[in-house]
Amino acid sequence: MVLAADARRAQKALVFCNTVSACRAVEHRCAEAGVATVCYHGDMPIAARKEAIAGFAGASGAPASEGGQPVMVCTDLAARGLDFPGTVDHVINFDFPLNPIDYLHRTGRTARAGAPGRVTSLIAGRDRVLARRIEWALQHGEPLDALSSDKEVLPPSLAHQQRPSAASAARRAAPAAGGPPRRYGAAALAPRGSRGPAAGGAYGSGRSASGGGGAAAGTAGSGSGPYGSGGGASKAPARPGGAGKAKAGPAGGRPVTPRGLRGAARIQAMNERAAAGQPERQARMEKKRRLKGKYEEGK
């Protein structure tokens, strides 16, 4: 409908496509709608290109007599280096340009030397980032040539708000050379009041279930085995006034939360089971070796 209106008003319109196949598809659709068109792309010979420019400029009467002023369907080959006689009234981006430089060259075909002009762009989902940045730059008077279609690359005026890359975030999260590893999670967020030493040499504190304020100290245990190592915690009797449960961690370390204690106790239990079943597994393996030796001797 837009192209038909331009043709009826004898206005010159350029339809830009990113590929030759898109040019042919637009030309075919315009022919079905009765809109006269001429093509200009790299697959055309030089003579055909000159004929297309002459028809678009109005020097050739055949296309104009069939459907009025012909519409030129072209690639970026027509965005620069060509001198069209007269003015171009309307530029249509059927395919949105891939970079801001092509956008500048395409839209620069209209509104020259103080003449009026229009630009219409069809925007797909993959074009939203660049299209929104071009719109923002035009509203704020920013240059277009430094814009990028990459989400991670902000315009130059907003470069100070650049989000850190994955590599820099990993470097910040890595421990300093020669220093202790950084702790994250619930253990690192434990209240400062629970980090002091309690009686018995373990770190932790207890809270009375009845609100009485009796404190209990826990003892720390540790275990090692094929599944790793972990610190265990034991319950301690509370003082008169309430029953409490101690929250304890490895000696010399930060306090751990009840969730961390459950994980440490689970690791310790796995290590104990593995240590207890080791002699039994060795006996089974020895029995299999003896049976295998007897079987081979019998053969």
| Cβ pair 247, 218 in contact under 8 A | yes
- How far apart are the C-alpha atoms of 50 and 59, rounded to whole Å? 11
| Cβ pair 13, 92 in contact under 8 A | yes
Domains within the chain, CATH numbers bracketed? 2-122 (3.40.50.300), 214-298 (no CATH)
Cβ neighbourhood burial of 52 (10 Å; 0-12, 13-18, 19+): buried
Tens digits of residue pLDDT in 132-166: 999 999 998 889 988 988 888 888 877 766 555 55
181, amino acid identity: P
Nearest to 25 by CA among 10, 9, 45, 41: 41
- How far apart are the C-alpha atoms of 250 and 234, rounded to whole Å? 12
Tens digits of residue pLDDT in 75-112: 999 998 888 878 899 999 999 999 999 999 999 999 98
Tens digits of residue pLDDT in 108-131: 999 988 899 999 999 999 999 999
Range with top average pLDDT, 10-14, 169-173, 192-196, 274-278: 10-14
